[in-house]
Amino acid sequence: MKLVDRKLKILQAIIDDFITTAQPVGSRTIAKKYNLGISSATIRNEMSDLEEMGYLVQPHTSSGRIPSDLGYRLYVDNLMKQQELANRQKQLIQKLLINKIFEIEDLVQQSSKVLSKITNLTSLSLSPQFKKSKLKNIKLVQVDNDKVLLILVSSSGIVKNVIFRISEISQSILNKISNLLQAKLKGLTIEDLNDEVINNLKNEIYEYSTTIEALLPILRNTLCEIDDSEIYLDGITNIFNLPEFTDINRAKQFLSTLEKKELMYEVLKDSDQDDVCIKIGRENKLDEIKDYSVITATYKLNGRVIGKIGVIGPTRMNYSNIVPVMRYITDTLSEILKNINL
Amino acid sequence: MKLVDRKLKILQAIIDDFITTAQPVGSRTIAKKYNLGISSATIRNEMSDLEEMGYLVQPHTSSGRIPSDLGYRLYVDNLMKQQELANRQKQLIQKLLINKIFEIEDLVQQSSKVLSKITNLTSLSLSPQFKKSKLKNIKLVQVDNDKVLLILVSSSGIVKNVIFRISEISQSILNKISNLLQAKLKGLTIEDLNDEVINNLKNEIYEYSTTIEALLPILRNTLCEIDDSEIYLDGITNIFNLPEFTDINRAKQFLSTLEKKELMYEVLKDSDQDDVCIKIGRENKLDEIKDYSVITATYKLNGRVIGKIGVIGPTRMNYSNIVPVMRYITDTLSEILKNINL
DNA sequence: GATTAGCACTCGCTAGATTAGAGTGCTAAC
DNA sequence: GTTAGCACTCTAATCTAGCGAGTGCTAATC
């Protein structure tokens, strides 16, 4: 059976309607609200076909239809017209992102906040992954007689540090060691710095060997413990405004899924590396979110993807609005990152 | 009317029962479950008195009674026997806190996590306030030709940093400036470093005046933007296991209150500075949490209170267990902080 | 005088029954 | 191929009755 134009128009109308009303859509509704020039009986026949083809689902006999995952997929790929953002929305985004604090992590979180505010969904974001970026600087700074601050700066401008104790040592020696380490390690990604690389340093640096030996385990531990899955969520309570979550158990289940950071990390990792990625219902790998849709987008620095932001919510979400919003936010974010040029 | 021993025993029984069952308690329940050696009729009379005195409330005629805020207060102050922690619980706490990452903020968050896990409530914590602690070190480190990393270390071991751009400058000059700044500012709290103090530096330091002048606004901005209200929440979804939150609207309202960080900050600030502080229902200043109880405790470094942790939940909470748990956790936390001695 | 048994009464909750309404699928006419 | 008409289905909302837990009061008992 071919999807003639009329069928597509009906499907589109049903999905548009269901997205706004959250109610199963009946043939009479379509006939009245959308003037397709055909009667409800004809629409009924077409709807029956569309159900047979897997694009619609009927919650129970004698109710209207709702879109299936497949239906949404067709809609997203072929039917929806991506709304151009209103200037007002663009300005709002600009206003909330520009002139803000310029710590990269804060900026990403702020983007997430804006996203959840505009979409009324829960947003999630992944800060630039420190471990995947290159080491730009490594410094040792004395902060006390017997305490030293280890500072690692990545090429994306993230700074990680840790204070540790070490028997008395002068700043000038620390400087020399810093320089040696930097010469050896600069340009490697943090991931690259595995035990082997670190241990080899012992053999490659001949000066200050006792200090270096004391230092290496600390360096190794610090690298190990760097918390890299910087998942940030915002707008969690937004879900309570959705009719899907009047069932307390569904809300509970969803919230406890959101609370599992490692799952959210998987969700973001699972998505494409380029442009906007939409995963609808069962298209998601994780069982816990097979009833939800996730839309993600990436932001870049120097042409390289360094992180992601996304929204998660019921499969019934306003795809045609969310996609351009996310595209605009990530573009703006990338632009700002380029300009502050860390 | 005097609160004779028998009345107190009945009140205690009612509260104990209500805390575990969440159901209004009737006279027959008390007579059967707690052998006080009196009949349900007598208990009914006493309960009627206790209600008149304001310690009990009847949701509707012909239902059992539930404790009022005043009832809980009496219970907390005079009736409850603080349970000694089981060794198992102590060991669990020790295990989860010791051998953990030793960033002070992570440690506090971990404490919060443990607390919510044990109490099955939502926990909140306030990390050491950077602004209230003394500046121990201030350093400038070159990370790139035209980029400098400003590092501030507080006496409680918290490190804050920011990268900024400045026209080319050598590390040796940065060192000298660092030293000058450190000499002038060390020992002041971050709060003390207001615009006036910063601006005065210009007049007090004669060397490198152009660099200093470029630096000061950056320093001022950085200090301003330090995010100090480090409120962390854990176990938010725990509330869904409580019968109090089967009403979706109540859950929604509570969650959106929790989401407001500035409110949670007030909640923690509102509590006493010493030992464990219990605020029951209307004892709380904030209207939003007048139906809830908050228990907080403080942790210390060098004898000074540097932060707090707490739990929030319905007034029906297991005070007699929570109080010793919190005391044990904060004691353990303070002990660890003393030993890692940042 | 304090305590208790007994009893009528209250009130929320639950289960069933009833009804209204939205929507379908089918048939027959256009 | 399209549409009007109609019988049928199923949900959701409303109503009702009855149950049960619990009270307050009275009168009898210790």
pLDDT in tens, A108-121: 999 999 999 999 99
- The 10s digit of each residue's pLDDT in B310-329 is 999 999 999 999 999 999 99
Asked if A342 lies within 8 A of B225 by C-beta distance, the reply is: no
Q: Residues of chain A with pLDDT > 70: what percent?
A: 96
Q: How far apart are CA B87 and CA B115, in angstroms?
A: 16
Crossing angle of the two packed helices B248-259 and A248-259, in degrees rounded to 10: 30
The confidence band for A227, taking pLDDT boundaries of 50, 70 and 90, is low
Question: Which residues of chain A neighbour B163 with C-beta distances below 8 Å?
Answer: 153, 157, 159, 342
Cα nearest neighbour of A171 on chain B: B175
Q: What is the pLDDT of residue A78?
A: 94
Closest CA relative to residue B321, chosen from B84, B68, B9, B76: B84
Q: How far apart are CA A101 and CA A320, in angstroms?
A: 31
Chain D bases near protein Cβ (<7 Å): 2-5, 8-11, 20-26
**Tokens 């053999």 map to which residue?**
A203
pLDDT higher than 90, residue A10:
yes
Closest CA relative to residue B119, chosen from B131, B111, B130: B111
Q: Is A146 an 8 Å CB contact of chain B?
A: no
CATH topology for A131-225 is Enolase-like; domain 1 (3.30.390)
User: Which residue lies nearest C11, CA-to-C1' measured?
Assistant: B62
Burial class (CB in 10 A: 0-12, 13-18, 19+), B10: buried
Q: What is the pLDDT of residue B1?
A: 45
Burial class (CB in 10 A: 0-12, 13-18, 19+), B203: exposed
Asked if A137 lies within 8 A of B159 by C-beta distance, the reply is: no
pLDDT higher than 90, residue A249:
no
Asked if B101 lies within 8 A of A225 by C-beta distance, the reply is: yes
Q: How far apart are CA A283 and CA A277, in angstroms?
A: 11
The residue among A36 and A316 whose pLDDT is bigger is: A316
Per CATH, is B5-79 categorized as 1.10.10.10?
Answer: yes
Which of A14-23, A68-77, A140-149 has the weakest average pLDDT?
A140-149
Q: How far apart are CA B71 and CA B154, in angstroms?
A: 44
pLDDT higher than 60, residue A342:
no
Indicate the domain borders of chain B. 5-79, 87-129+229-340, 131-225
Among A106, A139, A223, the residue to mutate for chain B (most B Cβ within 10 A): A139
Asked if B144 lies within 8 A of A136 by C-beta distance, the reply is: yes
Q: Is A153 an 8 Å CB contact of chain B?
A: yes
Q: What is the pLDDT of residue A136?
A: 87
The confidence band for B2, taking pLDDT boundaries of 50, 70 and 90, is low
- The 10s digit of each residue's pLDDT in B175-186 is 888 888 888 888
A181 to chain B, closest Cα gap in Å? 14
Mean pLDDT for all residues in chain B: 88
Q: What is the pLDDT of residue B326?
A: 96
Chain centroid, CA B138 distance in Å: 29
Q: What is the mean pLDDT of residues B247-263?
A: 90
Asked if strand D contacts B64 at the CB level, meaning under 7 A, the answer is yes
Asked if B137 lies within 8 A of A143 by C-beta distance, the reply is: yes
Q: How far apart are CA B176 and CA A82, in angstroms?
A: 57
Chain C bases near protein Cβ (<7 Å): 3-6, 9-12, 21-27
Asked if A161 lies within 8 A of B147 by C-beta distance, the reply is: no
- The 10s digit of each residue's pLDDT in A59-96 is 998 899 999 999 999 999 999 988 889 999 999 999 99
CATH topology for B87-129+229-340 is Beta-Lactamase (3.30.450)
A160 to chain B, closest Cα gap in Å? 9
